[in-house]
Amino acid sequence: MMQNQFKNHSIILLHGVFAVDFFDQLKKKNSKEVFIMEGRPSLEAAQMNCRELLKHKITPTLISDNMAGFLFFKNLVKEVWVAYQVSDTDGAICDIGALILGVLGKRHSVPIYLSPSNRRTRFLGKEKELLSFKNKTVAPKGIRAYVPLVEWLPAEYITKIFTTKMDKSGEAYTIV
């Protein structure tokens, strides 16, 4: 346990921007601990997911994108849900950051579930999106930035992909 704050394997971790019906299903899980990754550079995942969770009367806990590993290391994560845009039997295109979660899930034997996103994003963001945060410059002038917004998550890191709703077996298929 982490300073008695959280029980082992109690946290559901969300990454990416999910379709709205995902939250109806999540609510049925009655989880007390739902953690949201902020989703740099746009923070859209943080904003959208927090708004939907609050609407569903779930109080989210926000973490920075670099804090997921800590939760895994302390055995606090029960399952991870990643929003995907396109999938096939080899894997899925997800918001950037999914691969780190896949690697963590594999190492710590934590399931990585994929649920549809409600949007399609560009593959690359603009440099200026990363050079500032909430409209404040964070990097020195002249610094270059590389801003991938999506990445390929291979099937070996995915436990299950859900197509529309997560609890109807006819609408879900397993690829690993």
Partner 1 sequence: MVNESPLFWPVKFVETAGKPSLHVLDETQLPQKLHYIRVKNTKQAVMVIRQMKTRAFGQFLVVLNTFLLELNKMGTHDDVGARSPMPLQRRIEETAAALNASRPTFPFSEVTSIVVGWAKQALAQNLNLKSFLEKNIQGFLMGIRMKRLKRVEQIVDVIKKGNSVLTHCNVSGELAMASQICKEQNKDVHFFATETRPYFQGAKLTCWELQRAGAKVTLVADNAVGSLMADGLIDCVIIGSDRSCANGDVANKIGSYQIALSAKEFGIPLYVLTQPSNKIPTGEDIPIELRDPNELLFYEGKKIVSGKVKGFYPGFDVVPHELIAGQLAVDPSGR
Q: Examine residue 47 and tell whether it contacts partner 1 (CB under 8 A).
A: yes
Q: How far apart are CA 79 and CA 20, in angstroms?
A: 19
Residue 32 is given by DSSP the state S
CB nearer to partner 1: give 49 or 115: 49
Per DSSP, the three-state class of 135 is coil
Q: Examine residue 134 and tell whether it contacts partner 1 (CB under 8 A).
A: yes
Q: Examine residue 123 and tell whether it contacts partner 1 (CB under 8 A).
A: no
Tell me the CB-side half-sphere exposure of residue 19, using CA atoms within 13 A: 16
* Residue 16 backbone class (left: φ over 0; alpha: ψ -120 to 50; beta: rest): left
Q: Examine residue 80 and tell whether it contacts partner 1 (CB under 8 A).
A: no
CB nearer to partner 1: give 22 or 72: 72
Cα diameter, the chain: 53
Q: Examine residue 166 and tell whether it contacts partner 1 (CB under 8 A).
A: no
CB of 172 to partner 1, least distance (A): 25
Q: Quick one: which of 79, 151, 165, 172 contacts partner 1 (CB under 8 A)? A: 151
Q: Examine residue 73 and tell whether it contacts partner 1 (CB under 8 A).
A: yes
Q: Examine residue 100 and tell whether it contacts partner 1 (CB under 8 A).
A: yes
Q: How far apart are CA 27 and CA 176, in angstroms?
A: 26
The count of other CB atoms within 10 Å of the CB of residue 15 is 27
Peptide linkage before 41 cis (omega within 30 of 0)? yes
Q: Examine residue 91 and tell whether it contacts partner 1 (CB under 8 A).
A: no
Residues that bind partner 1 (CB under 8 A): 3, 5, 35, 37-41, 43, 46-47, 50-51, 54, 59-70, 72-73, 96-100, 102-104, 106-107, 130-131, 133-134, 136, 138-140, 142-148, 151-152
